Structure formats: C-alpha cells, structure tokens
C-alpha cells in the first residue's frame, strides 16, 4: 500500500461514524493516525483524498445547518481548500465506502513508506 492509498483509508475511517468536517475532525484524526505510521499528513492530502472518495462514490458531501433544511446533499466535491469560518461542509461514508472500510479495517501493517 502506498501513501496515497493509506491516506484515503484513514480519511474513510474518519468519516465512517457520522458527518465530519475537514477541520473539526477529519484532519486531526488522519494526522494522528499518520503520526502512528511515522507520517506527517497535510490538509491538502486530506482534501485530495476526500475528493477521490467522493468521485469514486465512497463518500458524499453535505451542508449541515441548525435551521431548515438541516442537511443538504451536495453534488460532487465542494471547494474546501480553505478552512471554513462557520463549519458547514461535512462528509459521510456511503454504503459502498463502508463495504470497503470493513474489508480494510484494522492496522495498516502493509504500508510501504518508500512508495
């Protein structure tokens, strides 16, 4: 498994329990998991992984709001290149993503730092 694949799996793991925002949760989770593998993972890598997961149908993006409509599914990958001032954009795993997640759940022992 190369670094790109590993980051994708870490991001998928981060969004498997509920709606998550890049800066509130996903980046911190992935950075922590990456550090356990001896890696420093940047925000741009997380955003790139999310874009790929959305494109592949493994995740979906949503706008969440305290007022109606409370949850709006977005088509495709939204712009999240900059930290949001009022965290509104969230990501959630799809059933297809959950199936993949369950196949790859557990320690990422096959990571090759040289890839």
Strand ranges of the sheet holding 59-64, from the earlier edge strand across to the other edge: 71-73, 59-64, 89-93
Token pair belonging to 78: 């939204």
Domain extent for 96:
3-103
Strand partners, 71: 64
Q: Contact at 8 Å (CB) between 88 and 18?
A: no
Domain count, the chain: 1
pLDDT tens across 34-79, in order?
998 899 999 999 999 999 999 999 999 999 999 999 999 999 999 9
Asked if residue 22 is part of any domain, the answer here is yes
β-sheet bridge partners, residue 93: 59
- CA–CA separation, 113 and 78 (whole Å): 30
CB 75 within 8 A of CB 48: no
Binning pLDDT at 50, 70 and 90, where does residue 1 land? confident
Give domain status of residue 111, yes or no: no
| CATH code for the domain of 90 | 1.10.10.10
Instruction: With beta carbons less than 8 A apart as the criterion, state whether 65 and 84 touch.
Output: no
Examine residue 109 and state whether it is found in any structural domain, yes or no: no
102, 95 in Cβ contact below 8 A? no
């Amino acid at each position: 498994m190369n670094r790109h694949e590993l980051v994708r799996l870490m991001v998928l793991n981060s969004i498997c329990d509920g709606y998550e925002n890049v800066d509130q949760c996903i980046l911190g989770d992935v950075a922590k998991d990456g550090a356990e593998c001896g890696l420093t993972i940047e925000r741009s890598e997380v955003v790139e992984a999310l874009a790929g997961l959305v494109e592949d149908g493994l995740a979906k993006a949503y706008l969440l709001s305290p007022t109606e409509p409370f949850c709006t599914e977005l088509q495709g990958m939204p712009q999240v290149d900059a930290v949001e001032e009022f965290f509104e954009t969230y990501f959630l795993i799809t059933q297809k993503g959950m199936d993949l997640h369950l196949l790859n759940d557990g320690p990422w022992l096959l990571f090759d730092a040289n890839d």
